[in-house]
Amino acid sequence: MRQIVLDTETTGLNPRTGDRVIEIGCVELLNRQLTGNNLHFYINPERDSEEGALAVHGLTTEFLSDKPKFAAIVDEFRDYVRDAEIIIHNAPFDVGFLDAEFKLLGLPPFKEHVDNVIDSLQMAKEQHPGRRNSLDALCDRYGISNAHRTLHGGLLDAALLAEVYLAMTRGQNSLTMDLAGGDDEDGAVKLELAPLADVIVVAASEAELGLHETVLNTLDKEVRGTCVWRKEAEAEAPPA
């Protein structure tokens, strides 16, 4: 089973008034295991972000000005999500924006390219009625660290949501298969609950850290100052 956890960032709240997608982050799950085959785009929306949206994602017009337009990434994006089950937190929002982008290019709506769309926000409301079900609240509820999340980001939020979704649906590791000749009276073979695989943390190499620093330096030049990602790292650094 191939699933894609997806998140977008946008210039504002309403695609009908011209707001556009500026970032897409996708995290792949294969049989409920993170594969590392992720997809991430920054996109030039050809317009400024609204002040409120900019405060959320921190992606300035200047930073996005040399990024590809949606038309340049749409084929790779469609190939990546094709026929997969898509998991989105507050799916109507993201799907509405993707539909608007597809419509500008004369393409069918987003759901026609994928197998299914699951709204994890609606799922959370059903599991936890009357409680806060934002991504941050769910991270707290399931013990998933989001201390590094001071700004929203498509790939970061998709990675957090993937962990939240696996925690919310952990009972799906216990399956009942209807097979003739089973041991139970109803002919079903029951499988015991299997533990999730251990999370493997691989430290960055010196070469990778050097490449990361080069990217940060490029971002600093583009914003003519200190980029938000460097500020975030400095804020989290322990006092000397």
Specify the pLDDT at position 177.
Answer: 37
Tell me the C-alpha to C-alpha distance, in Å, between residue 210 and each of 3, 96, 213, 224, 231.
Answer: 32, 39, 5, 21, 18
pLDDT at 68: 98
128 is catalytic: no
Task: Quote the pLDDT of residue 35.
Answer: 96
Asked if the model's pLDDT at residue 134 lies above 80, the reply is yes
Q: What is the pLDDT of residue 201?
A: 72
Q: Which of 40, 113, 152, 212 is catalytic?
A: 152
Q: What is the pLDDT of residue 206?
A: 85
What's the mean pLDDT when you consider all of the chain? 85
Cβ proximity of 134 and 108 under 8 Å: no
The answer to whether 44 and 139 are in contact (CB under 8 A) is no
Give 183-213 pLDDT, tens digit per residue.
Answer: 444 444 444 555 656 667 778 888 888 888 8
Is residue 178's pLDDT more than 70? no
d(CA 234, CA 232): 5
Query: What is the chain's Cα-based Rg?
Result: 20
Cα–Cα distance, 8 to 40 (Å, whole number): 10
DSSP assignment of 75-134 equals HHHHHHHTT-EEEETTHHHHHHHHHHHHHHTT---GGGTSSEEEEHHHHHHHHSTTS--S
Pairing of strands 176-178, 21-30: unpaired
Tokens of 55: 């405060």
Residue 59 has pLDDT above 80, yes or no: yes
Q: Exposure string (b/e) for 191-228, b if CB count within 10 Å is 16 or more?
A: eeeeeeeeeeeeeeeeeeeeeeeeeeeebeeeeeeebb
**What gap in Å lies between CA 68 and CA 70, rounded to an integer?**
7
95-104, 140-149, 172-181, range with the lowest pLDDT: 172-181
Predicted structure pTM score: 0.70
Residue 24: is its pLDDT beyond 80?
yes
pLDDT at site 210: 83
| Distance in angstroms (rounded) separating the CA atoms of residues 1 and 32 | 8
Query: Average pLDDT, stretch 121-132?
Result: 96
Worst-scoring range by mean pLDDT, 27-36, 97-106, 145-154? 145-154
Tell me if 42 sits within 8 A of 23, measured CB to CB. yes
Nearest to 88 by CA among 78, 98, 74: 98
- The pLDDT score that the predictor gives to residue 222 is 72
**Arithmetic mean of pLDDT, 29-52:** 96
Residue 190 to residue 112: CA distance in whole angstroms = 35
